[in-house]
């Protein structure tokens, strides 16, 4: 159907040029609201009616006549019908829908992939402060960000994954002080324990490792503990390296990788923060008031001007963000996407205002943001709020250990990012149709089982599937399944364009549903060898698309369950 649709679009463009020369209308098809109306619909006649000053049904008749003269229409179209005020419903020949099977088998893992477009995109995600284990919100960011990267790669983008470490500021000082307190024998609940300290058991783990003079290695650093409880700077460096290593392990367990880890501290040591501030001052976009330096962010749509440098000389938190994004732009990324929690919503206007005011050529609306809402964890019918290890929240590692990496990734992508999500641990463990990841993976395993049975009991040879005669695939459930396969490339393109990886999860459930319906309706291994080969070709193609889509989400496609 994909090849047929492409050829029919070209034919529609030619027919429109014939009946309405010079008309500014793009050839396009829509999906009919009801399947009984056909496979494709065209509204071009109604769009042309006003500028052409003609009756839309009359124009639809002329357009049908022009279309019927085109070879592609003669090859792929069974019927063209006028409906309502001027819709054209198009019913395709079986061959138009069947050819997607051969295309999937020919392209394999490349089905749905676009050619390289020469453009670069950076996706920044997770970016957790190195002050504790990754929580479930970081997990949602990891799943969303990694899937977005895979989506962009599928559309021909050169993708760069980046993790921004906030390794400066009050939270790092709190981490060092909390660890030092543990080293000196204090614990949460003691009278001397600081109210602002981190209470999780992981702080004791860091203290024990520091006292044992352990060496910890993170992505870009290695540090050995001195064992001296009074060595506060050494404690700080050790604790940061220790937690970065722990976060690395969590991300590895989650199947998430990064191309670069960017340190907030480097923005200061490299002079980029000062350079960004100097650009804003030179552009006349700042003013001083009350001993502070302000950005005229209201010039760019912000609701009020923002303090950049406080009266004590310290910078507010959005200033290094501006410097960081100027550097992203200087590194040559055509597109930048930040995946962050919804609590960052207030920073978007001021960061974009700073980037526009800097006058370095950054387009309006750059960068893009995907903001996600909270995740609530339910287990045994009750909300789980605290992890003993973290002290105040459920960790990503908890979720993976309670369920599986596949379940966590699929679940955390299965809703739009801007909706709150309830992660039901009990549901993620169910081996039935209620569990969406099981439902999808079981479809793949079921297909593998049928293909193995075909080979074992009927001497089936997978090598013949690429040349199987697909004409016998004419059952309603077969057409429904082939239509789903044909939707995959356009779905991927829309999901990437709309920053919507949840669309892939929705598609997978629909594709699995179409397969399970087919499984219930047809006896695959009855009939002639040719009929079985055609059905096995459809199953092989379905398994391939399931694998391709699951790979976008970073979820496995098991052959047995």
Q: Over the stretch 447-467, which tens digit does the pLDDT of each residue have?
A: 999 999 999 999 999 999 999
Is residue 144 within 8 A of residue 127, CB to CB? The reply is no
Using the predicted structure, report yes or no on whether residue 392 has a pLDDT greater than 90: no
Mean pLDDT of the chain: 94
Length of the chain: 561
**pLDDT at residue 390 in the model:** 67
Considering the chain, what percentage of its residues have pLDDT values greater than 90?
88
Using the predicted structure, report yes or no on whether residue 32 has a pLDDT greater than 70: yes
Lowest mean pLDDT among 26-40, 297-311, 429-443: 26-40
Q: Over the stretch 464-476, which tens digit does the pLDDT of each residue have?
A: 999 999 999 999 9
**pLDDT at residue 449 in the model:** 97
**pLDDT at residue 419 in the model:** 95
pLDDT band at 388 (very low <50, low <70, confident <90, very high): low
**pLDDT at residue 306 in the model:** 95
Q: Over the stretch 393-434, which tens digit does the pLDDT of each residue have?
A: 899 999 999 999 999 999 999 999 999 999 999 999 999 999
Give mean pLDDT, residues 244-248: 93
Hey, what are 193's tokens? Answer: 């324990």
User: DSSP string of 106-150?
Assistant: HHGGGTTPPPP-S-EEEEE-----TTS--BHHHHHHHHHHHHHHH
DSSP state for residue 363 in the 8-state scheme: P
Give mean pLDDT, residues 142-164: 98
Give mean pLDDT, residues 499-511: 98
Is residue 378 within 8 A of residue 147, CB to CB? The reply is no
> Please, what is the Cα angle at 26 between 50 and 54, to 5 degrees?
20
Integer Cα distance of 177 and 183 in angstroms: 10
What distance, in Å, lies between the first and last C-alpha atoms of the chain? 32
**pLDDT at residue 22 in the model:** 83
Domains of the chain: 1-92 (3.30.1360.70), 120-166+261-370 (3.40.50.620), 170-257 (no CATH), 375-429 (no CATH), 433-553 (1.10.730.10)
Helix, strand, coil share (%) of the chain residues, nearest 5: 55, 15, 30
Q: Over the stretch 165-223, which tens digit does the pLDDT of each residue have?
A: 888 778 899 999 999 999 999 999 999 999 999 998 999 999 999 999 999 998 777 89
**pLDDT at residue 195 in the model:** 92
Dihedral (CA of 190, 195, 201, 202) sign: negative
Query: Do β-strands 120-124 and 158-165 pair in parallel, antiparallel, or remain unpaired?
Result: parallel
Spatial CB neighbours of 323, under 8 Å, sequence gap ≥ 6:
267, 272, 273, 275, 276, 277
Give mean pLDDT, residues 545-552: 98
**Tally of CA atoms within 13 A in the half-sphere of 173 that contains its CB:** 5
Integer Cα distance of 301 and 305 in angstroms: 10
């Amino acid at each position: 159907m994909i090849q047929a649709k492409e050829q029919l679009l070209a034919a529609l463009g030619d027919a429109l040029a014939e009946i309405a020369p010079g008309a500014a209308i793009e050839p396009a098809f829509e999906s009919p609201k009801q399947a009984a109306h056909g496979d494709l619909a065209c509204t071009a006649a109604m769009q042309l009616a006003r500028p052409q000053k003609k009756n839309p049904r009359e124009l639809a008749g002329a357009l049908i006549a022009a279309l019927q003269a085109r070879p592609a229409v003669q090859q792929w179209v069974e019927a063209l019908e006028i409906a309502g005020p001027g819709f054209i419903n198009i019913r395709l020949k079986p061959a138009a829908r069947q050819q997607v099977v051969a295309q999937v088998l020919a392209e394999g893992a490349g089905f749905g992939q676009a050619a390289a477009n020469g453009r670069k995109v950076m996706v920044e995600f997770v970016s957790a402060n190195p002050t504790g284990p990754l929580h479930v919100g970081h997990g949602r960011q990891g799943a969303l960000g990694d899937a977005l990267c895979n989506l962009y790669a599928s559309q021909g983008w050169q993708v760069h994954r980046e993790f921004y470490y906030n390794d400066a500021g009050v939270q790092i000082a709190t981490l060092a002080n909390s660890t030092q307190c543990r080293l000196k024998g204090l614990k949460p609940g003691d009278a001397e324990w600081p109210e602002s300290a981190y209470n999780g058991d992981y702080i004791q783990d860091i203290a024990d490792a520091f006292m044992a003079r352990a060496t910890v290695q993170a992505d870009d650093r290695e540090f050995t503990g001195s064992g001296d409880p009074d060595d506060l700077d050494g404690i700080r460096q050790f604790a940061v390296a220790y937690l970065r290593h722990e976060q690395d392990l969590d991300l590895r367990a989650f199947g998430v990788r990064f191309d670069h880890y960017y340190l907030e501290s480097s923005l200061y040591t490299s002079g980029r923060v000062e350079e960004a501030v100097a650009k804003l001052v030179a552009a006349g976009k700042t003013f001083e008031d009350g001993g502070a330096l302000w950005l005229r962010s209201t010039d760019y749509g912000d609701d009020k001007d923002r303090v950049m440098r406080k009266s004590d000389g310290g910078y507010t938190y959005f200033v290094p963000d501006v410097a960081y994004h100027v550097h992203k732009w200087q590194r040559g990324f055509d597109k930048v996407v930040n995946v962050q929690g919804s609590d960052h919503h207030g920073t978007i206007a001021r960061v974009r205002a700073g980037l526009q005011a800097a006058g370095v050529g950054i387009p309006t609306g750059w960068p893009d943001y995907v903001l996600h809402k909270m995740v609530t964890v339910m287990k045994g019918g009750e909300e789980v709020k605290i992890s003993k290890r973290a002290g105040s929240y459920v960790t990503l590692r908890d979720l993976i250990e309670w369920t599986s990496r596949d379940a966590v990734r699929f679940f955390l992508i299965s809703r739009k990012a801007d909706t709150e999500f309830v992660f039901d641990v009990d549901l993620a463990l169910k081996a039935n149709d209620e569990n969406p990841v099981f439902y999808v993976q079981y479809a793949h395993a079921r297909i593998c089982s049928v293909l193995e049975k075909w080979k074992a009991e009927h001497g089936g040879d997978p090598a013949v599937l690429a040349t199987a005669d697909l004409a016998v695939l004419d059952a309603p459930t077969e057409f429904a399944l082939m239509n789903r396969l044909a939707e995959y490339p356009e779905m991927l393109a829309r999901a990437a364009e709309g920053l919507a990886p949840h669309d892939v999860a929705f598609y997978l459930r629909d594709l699995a549903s179409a397969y399970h319906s087919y499984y219930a309706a047809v006896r695959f291994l009855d009939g002639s060898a040719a009929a079985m080969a055609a059905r096995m070709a459809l199953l092989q193609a379905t398994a391939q698309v399931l694998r391709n889509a699951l790979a976008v989400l970073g979820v496995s496609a098991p052959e047995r369950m």
